[in-house]
């Protein structure tokens, strides 16, 4: 067993809950909890599952079902309010490009800094420095401060750094991408390489075709709870049947 999630719930304070328009939008759900001190929303509720080496697990559900929240909990971005998450091995959370990039430093300096902050040992960082630089295709621009970069150049740098981290458990959101259209095909190949190299994959997606091609199992989330889990084909069919006409393809 490489991942063990037991009775995980995640709650966070809901500020502005006294606003009438906001209450109309959220009170129809069962995820709002009133405590003695404040109102909280339960983003995840009593989530339990295990994952083995070799599992490729899709996280399915409508927007707001809890897919990205669960990925962030698995990646340690959020700590569960209740329950426990145990991961044997190293996890890499590819959800967005929010790396600790310093605009005043050069591209090369940021590669060194970010790799070390993301947990690389110094020798390992040095060994892959050239690889990251080459993949970014930024060439001499790596020697100038990042504040001079265009949006596309910045994204190439961030993507190249983020995807350089090798992991046992890969946590991937379908919205994670290179952004720069001239870089997309290369970026997609890189992501597929990371998927192949990982021991276990969790992939949050609305794309049923992509899920069927990549994953072997699936977890269907509904309002922060597990509605079903099992073989990917069965869960995709259930998802499509439950949300015919309303789910993204």
pLDDT digits (tens, 9 = 90+) for 121-141: 777 778 889 999 999 999 999
**DSSP conformation class of 85:** E
Mean pLDDT of 87-102: 83
Query: pLDDT higher for 35 or 79?
Result: 79
For 3-90+202-242, CATH gives: 3.40.50.300
pLDDT, tens digit, for every residue of 45-54? 999 999 999 9
User: How sure is the predictor about 81, in pLDDT bands with cuts at 50, 70 and 90?
Assistant: very high
Q: Give 131-145 as a 3 state SS string.
A: HHHHHHCCHHHHHCE
Closest of 90, 2, 82, 91 to residue 49, by C-alpha: 2
H helix runs in the chain, sequence order: 20-26, 67-74, 107-117, 122-136, 151-162, 184-197, 208-214, 232-242
Closest of 152, 156, 194 to residue 172, by C-alpha: 194
Query: pLDDT higher for 16 or 25?
Result: 16
Cα–Cα dist 147/143, whole Å: 12
Asked if the model's pLDDT at residue 19 lies above 70, the reply is no
Give helix then strand counts, H and E, for the chain. Answer: 8, 10
In this prediction, residue 143 carries a pLDDT of 96
Q: Are 13 and 39 in contact (CB under 8 A)?
A: yes
Mean pLDDT of 216-241: 96
Asked if the model's pLDDT at residue 249 lies above 50, the reply is no
Mean pLDDT of the chain: 86
Calculate what percentage of the chain has a pLDDT beyond 90: 55
Cα–Cα dist 60/210, whole Å: 12
Closest of 95, 94, 97, 92 to residue 155, by C-alpha: 97
pLDDT, tens digit, for every residue of 137-176? 999 999 999 999 998 899 899 999 988 877 899 999 887 7
Cα–Cα dist 45/97, whole Å: 28
Closest of 148, 208, 147, 149 to residue 174, by C-alpha: 208
Pairing, β 225-231 against β 217-222: antiparallel
pTM assigned to the model = 0.83
In the structure encoding, which two tokens stand for residue 126, read together?
């040095």
Closest of 172, 231, 220 to residue 196, by C-alpha: 172
Q: Are 106 and 142 in contact (CB under 8 A)?
A: yes
């Amino acid at each position: 067993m490489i991942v063990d999630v037991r009775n995980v719930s995640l709650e966070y304070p809901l500020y502005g809950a006294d606003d009438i328009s906001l209450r109309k939008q959220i009170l129809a759900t069962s995820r709002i909890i009133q405590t003695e001190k404040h109102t909280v929303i339960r983003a995840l509720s009593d989530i339990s599952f295990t994952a083995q080496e070799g599992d490729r697990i899709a996280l399915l559900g409508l927007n707001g079902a809890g897919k990205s929240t669960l990925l962030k909990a698995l990646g340690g971005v959020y700590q569960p309010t209740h329950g426990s998450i145990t991961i044997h091995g190293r996890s890499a959370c590819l959800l967005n490009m929010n790396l600790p990039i310093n605009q005043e430093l050069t591209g090369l300096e940021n590669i060194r800094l970010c790799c070390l902050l993301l947990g690389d040992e110094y020798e390992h960082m040095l060994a892959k420095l050239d690889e990251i630089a080459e993949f970014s295709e930024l060439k001499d621009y790596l020697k100038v401060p990042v504040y001079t970069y265009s949006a596309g150049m910045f994204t190439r740098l961030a993507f190249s750094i983020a995807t350089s981290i090798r992991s046992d458990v890969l946590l991937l959101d379908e919205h994670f991408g290179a952004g720069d259209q001239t870089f997309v095909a290369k970026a997609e190949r890189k992501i597929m390489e990371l998927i192949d190299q990982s021991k276990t994959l969790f992939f949050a997606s609305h794309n049923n075709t992509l899920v069927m091609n990549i994953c072997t199992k699936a977890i269907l989330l509904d309002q922060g709870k597990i509605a079903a889990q099992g073989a990917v084909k069965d869960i995709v069919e259930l998802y499509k049947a439950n949300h015919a006409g309303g789910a993204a393809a």
